[in-house]
Structure formats: C-alpha cells, structure tokens
Structure 1
Amino acid sequence: MKFKSVNPYTEELNWTYEALSFKDCQQQIEKSRAAFDGWSTLPVEERVRYIARAADVLRKNKQVYAEVITKEMGKPIKKALAEVEKCAKACDYYAEHAAVFLKDEPVETDAEKSYITFEPLGVIFGIMPWNFPFWQVFRFVVPALAAGNVCLLKHASNVPGSALEIQKVFLEAGLPDNVFKTLLIDSKTAMKIIDEDLVDGVSLTGSIRAGSAVGGLAGKRIKPLVLELGGSDPFIVLEDADVDAAARMAVKARFINSGQSCIAAKRFIVMEDVVVEFTERFDEYMQQLKVGDPMDPETDIGPMAKKEFVGELEKVLKDAEKKGSEPMVHGVEHEKGYFFRPALVPAASTDMKICSLEIFGPIAPVITVKDEDEAVKVANSTEFGLGGAVWSKDPERAERLAKRIRSGLLAINGMAKSDPKLPFGGIKKSGVGRELSHYGLKEFVNIKTVVVNK
C-alpha cells in the first residue's frame, strides 16, 4: 500500500510513501519499549531540555514546515506559519512547567509520610487528524514526552509529509532514538496494534465513529484513553451584545482553517431583536475574506483538504435550501482546486443537517431564538459538547448562561480556542479526557500513592 499526498489547490501529487507492515510496527514497538527504559529514568528537568530544543527547531524551520502543511491540506500559508509557532509555544510551556506539574505532592495522613507521585506509563499511541497536522500532534506528544512516556504516531493518510517532518523536528532536537516515531500505516494496522495489546495508552482525535471503534478496543485491553471527537459549537449572541464585534469575531470563529476545525463556531444562535443586524454584519465581514491560492500570504480561505468534502458540503447546503433557507453565497467559482465558496445560511433550523452534524467547511447557519431558555435548548440540542461562546455586554449574565451550556470550553465575548495553559476536551460525544495544561499531562501517568510508616 502507498500513501499519496495530493495538493488540494493544484490537484497534483506531492509525494508518495510506502506503508509499513504490521511486522514492521511490532519491531518498532520493541525498539520504543527499549527506549522507554532510558527515557523514563531521566529527570524531568533533563527531558524538557529536548522539548525546549524542539521549540528552537520549529522556529528555525517554520517556513519549511508551513509549506508542507499548505501543500498537503490547503491551509493558507499565514495560518500554517501560525500553527507551527503555536507548537513551539506548547514546547516552551511544558519546558517551563512540566517539572512543577510532576513534582511529588505530600499529603498529611496518620503515616510517617504520605505522598502522591507521577510515573510514566510506557508507549503511548497517537492517532491524529489532518486538519491541524502539526498542532494536533504536538499537543498530544509534548506533555506525554515530558511525563516520561515514549510516543508513536499514526497520522492521517493525506498528510504523510507532515508526519515525517514532525519526526525530523525531534531528531534535530536531539531526542534519543525511538522516543518518538512516526508509523506510516493504515487504520486497519492501527486498530490491530491496539487490539494486540502492544501499547500502554491511546490518544485519538477524529470522528465519533473512529472514537467508538478505538475506544472499544482500548476498553477491551484496559488501556487509558483520550478521545477528542469534534463538535458543533454554539455561538450565542444575546440582545445586549456588541453586535458588530460579535459578528466580526463570528466570521473569524467559523472560518478558521477554512471552516475545518473541531473547535470552530458552527451554529450562530442569535436573539430575534438583533438577528437582522447580526446577519448583515456577518455577511459584510464574510465578503471581505480572500479565497484563493493558499500559498498567497493574503489568502484567508483555501481549498478543502479533500475533493470529497466539496460534495458533502454541497449536499448539506441543498438540505438547508429544501428546508426553507436561502443561503447567501459569494465569490467566484475556481477552475482548479477543491474549493467551496463561503456560505451564510439565515433562518436556519435545528432539523437541518448543518445544525445537527459536525460540518467541516465554510458554512455558517444563523438560528433565531426568542429568549435565553430557547438559546440554551438549541445550544444543547446536538450530541456534541466541545466548545461554545456567549456574547453579552453583561459579563455576569453571560457567565450564568455559560453554566447552562454543556461543553468542555466556553468563551465569553470571544471565540473558543485551544491554549497550552488550559485543559482542552469535551463532553457528550465530543470525547473523554483532556489534552494540554497539567490535566492533559497527567492523562498518561500512573498517579501513585506512597505511604511510609515507621
């Protein structure tokens, strides 16, 4: 089997790679286990030196990495550069704070001494998606490595170049051999690795279907698991909000990564008193976005990552039209590339697919509500619970409403986004566990209680 990387803008082949066999994976896992014996015994202060060096490598070679990202999945180059920098900042964060996070915690008991200590688990297997091909990996790998684990990566099949460049980052940073390794394998081989009980923990970012399958096998083998399975985030605009600021941020929140983001705002729930103004402002700012060549530094929205995504988006837009909406679509058709023109869908309803599914692409539905109770009902009506936002000039009111939204992350007068300093993850079918912050670092450690008696 070969992995083919196709440029979604030119539709030309970037490169091909041979997939590894299951036997190849078994041999690599043995090497990773041997590497764990040495890596896990290093003091955390020494481990994070390699992570700090990785930040330096990322910044030194950021243009190279950004161009690979753009060529493989169509992300506008300015956003790809920002993604690489975000990875470097995550390295900075854990290089500075991991030792504190992993410090033994004394506890007063009846014993002479009691404390909690944090020990690495072993080989952690990450199955990562294409939409943020560097960031998704680094937010999994960096805390796991800092904790003393070794990591294996199965990346999405359309971004093999990114997967191999990430491996080069750690090699250039001087990381010992086999502490981090990319496996170019298909999903079937990845599932077999879990089912054969070859790893000590699993982290997956992907679809509900993939999460259910991986979670089932991890549960069968009693393995710790982190799942980040996407979202359909509500963006609530109350009648007392700064509507212009809300609309401006809404456009940014929806069209981040050309709309292909799990944490993007995907449903705009707006009070009826301000819905007309919000819709007009949103449309105005949406039209200012530049759609085109992702290598152009001025481009805001590039092509979709895969050709089939365009057809899927066309279907959900037609579904909205059949159910009464008149989508507002602007821009020109492109002769080449997997482009989908940004679309605003006013008068959207919860029975439309764009309001119930996770839509990966530049489509923005606006749902009109009468009051806070209806806004909460609509916000909580999907099977997802990743992020969300509430806009109001009354922060206390917004915070009260925020507590009623079932999500793992909620922004007030802003947009939901990941930050190394804060835990990231969802509830309901958006996943289990957390990435980032000290919570994410401790997902793959043995939290051991030690009690010393006289």
Structure 2
Amino acid sequence: MSIYQTVNPATGESVASFPALSDNEVEGVLSQSTEAYASWRKAPLKDRAAVLKRAAELHRERADELAALLTLEVGKPLAEARGEVALVANIYEYYADHAEEFLDDEQLSIAGPGEAIVRTEPIGPIVGVMPWNFPYYQVARFAAPNVVLGNTVIVKHSRNCPQSALAIESILKEAGVPAGVYINAFATSGQIATMVADPRVRGVSLTGSEKAGSAVAEVAGRHMKKFVLELGGSDPFIVLADADLDRAVSDAVAGRLYNAGQACTASKRFIVEDAVYDEFLSRFAEAMEAVQPNDPTDSGTKLGPLASRAAAEELAEIVDDAILHGATAVAGSTPGREGAFFPPTVLTGVVPGTRAYSEELFGPVAVVHRAASASDAVEIANDSAYGLAASVYTTDEAAAREIAAQLEAGMVWINSVSRSAPDLPFGGVKLSGVGRELSRFGINEFANKKLVRIPKPSAGASA
C-alpha cells in the first residue's frame, strides 16, 4: 500500500504516491549504508567537502524547480520556498568551507608529560527522521555535517513530501555523494524502530513531535544509541514597556505568519507589559487581519495554506477550545472546514488548562498575554513545557541580556525573531529536545571525540 503521497494542500488534489519499503528492502538499506561507511570514512576530507560544495551549487542552479516542489507538497509560498532553498545551499557550503577547521585535531593542555590530542572521527550509519514543514532545510542541517564528517545517513522523510525527498537524494547523487552514503528511505515507523535497534546503526536524529521523539529515544536508549531530538516549541515574544512598537508589531506578524506559522521557532506566545498592552494588541490584531491566505503559487502571496486539511482542522479545534473556555478572538475566526487555509487569528484571555495555553500552535494563531512587569513576563514565558527559542523587545539592551539569562530556552533573540543560519547553533531544552544542530556544535553530535595520549618517553628509552 502506498503511504508516501503528494497531496496539494491548496486544492486537496492527490498528485503522486509511492510505496513504502518492504522489510527486505530495509535490510538492503542497512547493508548498503554500512558498506558505504567503510570506504566513505576513509575518503580524503577534501573530497567529502567537495561534494557538499557541489550540492550547494546545484541547489542554487535549480532553485526555482526545488521551490516549486515545496509549494506543491506543503503549500509554501514561492518566495518563502526560494528562501528555504537558498538557506540550504548556504548550509552545505558552510560545512564544506569549515570542515577542515572543525575536524582538525585538538591539542590539549595537560598537567602530565607528553601530548594529549582529541581527534574528531565518524561513528557509522546514522538515521534521520525528518518533518514536512521545511523538507530541504531539516535534511541539510542533519546530513551536511554528518556526510562531511564521514558518517553515512539514512533519511526517512515525512510521508506528505516524497517528491521533495527524492529531489534531495537526486541532487546529492549528482553532486558526487557515493551510493549508500545518503539513502532516502520510504520507511514505516516500525521499520525506523528496527533500523535504530540494529547494531549497524550508531545514532538517530529526529525532528517532530514529543510523542515521536519519546518513541525514538526509548528505542535508542534501550540499544545504547546516541540521539538528537528537536521537538518543537511554544516560543515567547516579550514586549517591554520601552520597546519600539513599530518594530515589535512588524516582527510579531512576521514571526507568527512565516511558513503559515508552521515553524518550531515561530513566535507563538506574545507577552506584553501592561503599559503598552492595549496599543500593541490593537496594532498587532489589525496587522494580522491585513494578511489573508491566498494561492501559494501567486508570487505576491505572503500566507499560504497549512500543509494539510487535517492540520487546519486540528488548529481549529484548539481555537474552539480556547473560546469555549473564555478566550476572545480579537482577529480571525475558526475557518470553514474546506481546504487547508486558515486565517491569521489573535487570541486573548487564554487561561491555563486549555490546549491553546499549553500546546504548540502550529499555524497562524497567536496568543497574547498581559504582563504586570518584566519579571512577570519572564514567569509567564517560562510557564511552558517547551524551551526552544524566545524573543525580547526593549530599548534597554542590558535589561534584555538579563532577561535572556533568565529565560528557559535554547536560543534567545533580542529585538528580533528567531532566524536560522549555518553558523548559529540550533536546539532547545525541556520538551523542545536534546542536542544541537548547525554551527560547529552540529558536527560533533555524532562524532567520536577520540583521545590520543602520547606520554613523554621515560629516561633511557630509545628515541
């Protein structure tokens, strides 16, 4: 039965479908990845870097073609789709350019005689379980550091973006990545568990829900495998009384609506100090309502559909639950049940115990909270099971730094929404996950940091 299927979220049309792997094919994937690792780990670093450099070039050369696939499969507006492709090219290029620096031996300063060196070496085949919201970007930040390090990777993509998954594999193959070094696997969840448990696999990276992360971590832990998990967030956006409101409102809209609000690091909870609450809310609600969902293939569209009709229905249920328990929709409303489009919505009066208070809102719905003070804003921000990214808006940079130190988050941005870049580490705390991706941290997650100790020869020993 076909479980990987392209369904255009803007129209509901089923475009293409692909069968899942058989169990025999899964064994073939594991064998191929293991065999490829034996030779790839020994390939000269300059050769491994060269294929990433070429992958970056191919992404830039085929930007329009690749962007169109994102629009087709997950409803991403063309401008945002091209932006994702550009970021991916930068990630491949970044690791190609910095691989020698990141993988160079580290000389330790030690108390004893002789030398101590730490080498950074690959560990073997790694499984990556990827989501649908950024099909190319999520793969790049997993695959690029591991491929240049010398690991081999097996990638299971989300079932609703199979053509994007195949496009990645095709580009890497054309870039010169040998067979077996990067394998796209249309696997089931059960087959992924089998792969992670297999002694030939040495680690797993997952981006997705905490339910999926817990399941993968359980299997990985039982079999002593390293894992990296990025599990989403409910990111706070703090606005203090002295903030530049023009900038704060503009960034709040951009931070909430980018990728139709379907980003782990999207601003989701807007926590506004009392002195500017009313003005911020009025301007924010007006600006949100001014952006309406439209055909993602239109070059002027800023907000496309959600990735599926099911996603829109789930979001509508959370909004309905909030309103049932006393919240007010000051902008937007629950949409009709046709299609995957969802209007920008702003909720106030959301109380603890409701889904909108505690769950990640994966779509263009913002929750605005009133804070009595800066310290109250921090308390509200930290009242979440998640801890991925956060933003703080104030003209007092010293105060912002102090608040950043108090926030329970993996990333804090001052007077800016969260943005991804190859040289910035990405990851969170609490239910937002374990481990880091990108920058030099990303290349060390699935590496053997091997100590080589060379004591000083004893007296009388031969040279």
Q: TM-score, normalised by structure 1?
A: 0.97
- Partner of 1:403, secondary structure, is helix
Aligned residues: 454
Cα distance in 2 for partners of 1:334, 1:298 equals 24
- Select which of 173, 194, 207 maps to 1:205: 207
| Residue 285 (structure 1) shift | 1.9
The equivalent residue for 1:88 is: 89
Q: Aligned partners of 1:72, 1:121: CA distance in 2, in Å?
A: 34
Match of 1:24 in 2: 25
Q: Aligned ranges for residues 12-411 of structure 1 at < 5 Å?
A: 12-109=13-110, 110-330=112-332, 337-411=339-413
SS of alignment partner, residue 270 of structure 1: strand
In structure 1, what is the equivalent of residue 11 of structure 2? 10
Partner of 1:427: 429
- CA deviation profile, 1:312-364 (whole Å, cap 9, x unmatched): 11111112212222203449968963111110113333443222101101100
Aligned twin of 2:461: none
Q: What secondary structure sits across from 2:370 in the alignment?
A: strand
Measured in 1, the distance between the counterparts of 2:356 and 2:335 equals: 22
- State the alpha-carbon separation in 2 of the partners of residues 325 and 335 from structure 1: 21
Distance 1:403 1:236 in 2: 14
- Pairwise CA distance, 1:43: 2.3
Whichever residue aligns with residue 52 of structure 1, its letter is K
Paired with 1:254 and 1:44, the residues of 2 have a C-alpha distance of: 41
Counterpart of 1:414 in 2: which secondary structure? coil
> Which ranges of structure 2 fall in alignment gaps of 5 or more residues?
458-463
Contact 1:62 1:84 survives alignment (8 Å): yes
> Is the CA contact (8 Å cut-off) linking 1:204 and 1:228 kept in structure 2?
yes
CA contact (8 A) 2:291 2:303 kept: yes
Contact 1:144 1:441 survives alignment (8 Å): yes
SS state of the match for residue 111, structure 1? coil
* Contact 1:94–1:143, Cα closer than 8 Å, also in 2: yes
Q: Is the 8 A contact 2:59 2:86 kept in 1?
A: yes
Distance 1:205 1:368 in 2: 32
* 3-state SS, counterpart of residue 410 of structure 1: strand
Q: What secondary structure does 2:424 align onto?
A: coil
Over residues 24-77 of structure 1, what are the superposed CA-to-partner deviations in whole Å (9 max), with x where a residue is unaligned? 011121111111122111222221110000001101111111111111111111
What is the identity, as a one-letter code, of the residue corresponding to 2:24?
K
Q: Distance in 2 between matches of 1:139 and 1:310?
A: 28
Instruction: Give the Cα separation in 2 of the matches to 1:274 and 1:302.
Output: 31
Q: Is the 8 A contact 2:332 2:346 kept in 1?
A: no
- Is contact 1:74–1:302 with CA below 8 Å preserved after alignment? yes
CA distance in 1, matches of 2:43, 2:271: 51
The one-character-per-residue Cα deviations of 1:226-252 (angstroms, maximum 9, x if unpaired) are 000000000000011111210110111
Counterpart-to-counterpart distance in 2, 1:299 and 1:82: 14
Structure 1 position 131, deviation (Å): 0.5
What is the aligned partner in structure 1 of residue 452 from structure 2?
450
Q: 1:335 and 1:122 mapped to 2: Cα distance?
A: 47
Kept after mapping to 2: 8 A contact 1:54/1:169 = yes
Who is 1:414 aligned against?
416
Alignment partners' CA distance in 2, 1:331 and 1:449 = 59
Paired residue for 2:460? Answer: none
CA distance in 2, matches of 1:145, 1:374: 45
**Alpha-carbon distance in structure 1 between the residues aligned to 2:280 and 2:224:** 49
Do the aligned partners of 2:154 and 2:183 also contact (CA within 8 Å) in 1?
A: yes
Q: Judging changes above 3 Å, is the alpha-carbon distance between structure 1 residues 318 and 336 closer, same or farther for their aligned structure 2 residues?
A: closer
Deviation at 1:292, TM superposition (A): 0.8
Moved more, 312-321 or 121-130: 312-321
* Letter matched to residue 274 of structure 2: E
Q: 3-state SS of the aligned residue for 2:127?
A: strand
Distance in 1 (alpha carbons) for counterparts of 2:425 and 2:395:
26
**TM-score where L is the length of structure 2:** 0.95
Given that 1:422 and 1:437 are in contact with CA atoms closer than 8 Å, whether structure 2 keeps it comes out as: yes
Please tell me the residue identity of whatever aligns with 1:146. Answer: V
**What is the CA-CA distance between 1:178 and the residue it aligns to?**
1.2
| Rounded Cα–Cα distance in structure 2 between residues aligned with 1:238 and 1:417 | 21
Whether the 8 Å contact between 2:390 and 2:411 is mirrored in structure 1 is yes
Tell me, in whole angstroms, the C-alpha distance in 2 between the residues paired with 1:275 and 1:96: 46
Say whether the 8 Å CA contact 2:45–2:148 is kept in structure 1: yes
My pick for the range that moved more, 59-68 or 340-349, is 340-349
Residue 195 of structure 1 and its aligned partner are, at CA, apart by 2.4
Deviations 1:287-318 (A, max 9, x none): 33241111111111111112111221111111
Percent same amino acid at aligned positions? 40
Distance 2:268 2:413 in 1: 14
CA contact (8 A) 2:49 2:95 kept: yes
Q: Work out the CA distance in 2 between the residues paired with 1:334 and 1:296.
A: 22
